[in-house]
Chains A and B, each alone.
Chain A
């Protein structure tokens, strides 16, 4: 199934796109994270969080097919 991945902040500039359609076999955190990192290997060494429906998702979070947001930390001020 397909899940929409939306990038934020500097990730849009670093990865060169704001939205990506990810194909996953199961709707689980690890599958989504691994799928994104496989598509964008630069993310493997970076700090970011995945969120769905306005909540950070982790190991056991139950996912649905809503879009997943990828948030990096900001530091400008």
Chain B
């Protein structure tokens, strides 16, 4: 077989060769999250000749993304990240077929998105989404390449690789949202996220080619500020695998959720079903108040909501949310959830997240 001149240098590596390159061109990788990790990682994977990339993100490009997410231009602000990244990858890397889903990764679309991929990449920024991705990778037996950071510190590992341990083996107790500050609160530097993304992309390539040394069962930690590093070994916890498998029926097609299961608060269309006089008022501009029983309820809902994000209904205690969710389901609007927490808990959650 002839060498492809575009990939000549990497094909010269004995670990890749012509066969390995062919394998990469036939590979399918799912990348969830197009942010500080996802942008550089997608560029690298496409340039290496990964033949099919599926990209998932619900968000639009904001000015504050441009310092880290370098494939976006000023004029892209306001557009969906998925659309712009797909255009870019197609223009620069003709061998790479790109599919994109402008959606939040959640229970109701997870199985469909994960299916038909060789490797899943977690490049998100939300701990609940990370557990959700992990669980669906366990259920569908997919290797998961994980990277995450906090300020100047990074973590990298490969979960669920050839029967290896998973996120729940490493951290059986899922942290509460208030334990982990968001990047909005803690800050982030592009060199840290893009460096970590390069390491993450290398693990993806190693997994695709079956190269030795995959970071399975090892959590690699690096502090970019003082160059402190660790490679921490961790083992399979069979009980955690069983738990995930037993929750399968419950996890798929979920309609009622609690705050602890929410992915990034920005990932939903928040609908307040309470009437105007009910307190406490939640003073957040992204909340749309649409009392139950309003005229043309469904039409107003559809006008107001961004289709990339699920609808999240809430009220004083959850009972109206359940009814509204049921109404949507019966009217063919699939993508909605009822939030069952009390209004006080919802208020505390949003105040913490939106600091």
* A72 CB contacts on chain B under 8 angstroms: 175, 179-180
* B130 CB contacts on chain A under 8 angstroms: 75
Distance A9 CA – B232 CA, assembled complex (angstroms): 15
B186:A76 contact, CB within 8 angstroms: yes
A8:B37 contact, CB within 8 angstroms: no
* A54 CB contacts on chain B under 8 angstroms: 230-233
Indicate with 1 or 0, residue by residue over B178-196, a CB within 8 angstroms of chain A CB atoms. Answer: 0111110010100001000
Contacts A10-B179, A47-B175, A76-B150 hold; do A71 and B232 have CB atoms under 8 A apart?
yes
Residue among B123, B125, B175 with max Cβ neighbours from chain A (10 Å): B175
- Interface members, chain A 52-77 (any B CB < 8 Å): 54-56, 69, 71-77
Minimum CB distance partner of B218 in chain A: A54
A49:B148 contact, CB within 8 angstroms: no
- Interface members, chain B 20-56 (any A CB < 8 Å): 33, 35-38
B35:A77 contact, CB within 8 angstroms: yes
Distance A55 CA – B124 CA, assembled complex (angstroms): 26
A1 within 8 A of B: no
B248 within 8 A of A: no
B310 within 8 A of A: no
A8:B234 contact, CB within 8 angstroms: no
Contacts A47-B171, A49-B170 hold; do A74 and B180 have CB atoms under 8 A apart?
yes
Distance A10 CA – B221 CA, assembled complex (angstroms): 14
> Of A45, A51, A56, which is within 8 A of B176 by CB?
A45
Residue among A49, A56, A75 with max Cβ neighbours from chain B (10 Å): A75
Minimum CB distance partner of A43 in chain B: B179
Indicate with 1 or 0, residue by residue over A25-55, a CB within 8 angstroms of chain B CB atoms. Answer: 0000000000000000000011111010011
Contacts A10-B179, A73-B175, A74-B150 hold; do A56 and B232 have CB atoms under 8 A apart?
yes
A9:B153 contact, CB within 8 angstroms: yes
Minimum CB distance partner of A9 in chain B: B150
Residue among A9, A13, A46, A76 with max Cβ neighbours from chain B (10 Å): A76
B324 within 8 A of A: no
Indicate with 1 or 0, residue by residue over B134-164, a CB within 8 angstroms of chain A CB atoms. Answer: 0000000000000111110111000000000
- Interface members, chain B 43-90 (any A CB < 8 Å): none
How many residues on A have C-beta within 8 angstroms of the other chain's C-beta atoms? Answer: 21
A8:B153 contact, CB within 8 angstroms: yes
B271 within 8 A of A: no
A77:B147 contact, CB within 8 angstroms: yes
> Of B148, B170, B173, B233, which is within 8 A of A77 by CB?
B148
Minimum CB distance partner of A42 in chain B: B179
Contacts A47-B173, A54-B233, A55-B233 hold; do A76 and B179 have CB atoms under 8 A apart?
no
Contacts A10-B181, A55-B233 hold; do A76 and B149 have CB atoms under 8 A apart?
yes
* A74 CB contacts on chain B under 8 angstroms: 148-150, 153-155, 180
B272 within 8 A of A: no
* B234 CB contacts on chain A under 8 angstroms: 49, 55-56
Distance A8 CA – B230 CA, assembled complex (angstroms): 11
Contacts A9-B153, A76-B188 hold; do A56 and B180 have CB atoms under 8 A apart?
no
Indicate with 1 or 0, residue by residue over B117-138, a CB within 8 angstroms of chain A CB atoms. Answer: 0000011111100100000000
Binding site for A on B (CB under 8 A): 33, 35-38, 122-127, 130, 147-151, 153-155, 170-171, 173-176, 179-183, 186, 188, 193, 219, 221, 230-235
| 27 residue pairs A–B, Cβ–Cβ below 8 Å | A9-B150, A10-B150, A10-B180, A10-B181, A46-B175, A47-B173, A47-B174, A47-B179, A49-B232, A51-B230, A51-B232, A54-B231, A54-B232, A54-B233, A56-B232, A56-B233, A71-B221, A71-B232, A73-B148, A73-B155, A73-B170, A73-B180, A74-B148, A75-B125, A75-B150, A76-B193, A77-B125
Binding site for B on A (CB under 8 A): 8-10, 13, 45-49, 51, 54-56, 69, 71-77
Task: Give the top 9 A-B pairs by smallest Cβ distance, nearest first.
Answer: A74-B148, A47-B175, A75-B127, A77-B37, A47-B173, A77-B125, A9-B150, A76-B149, A74-B150
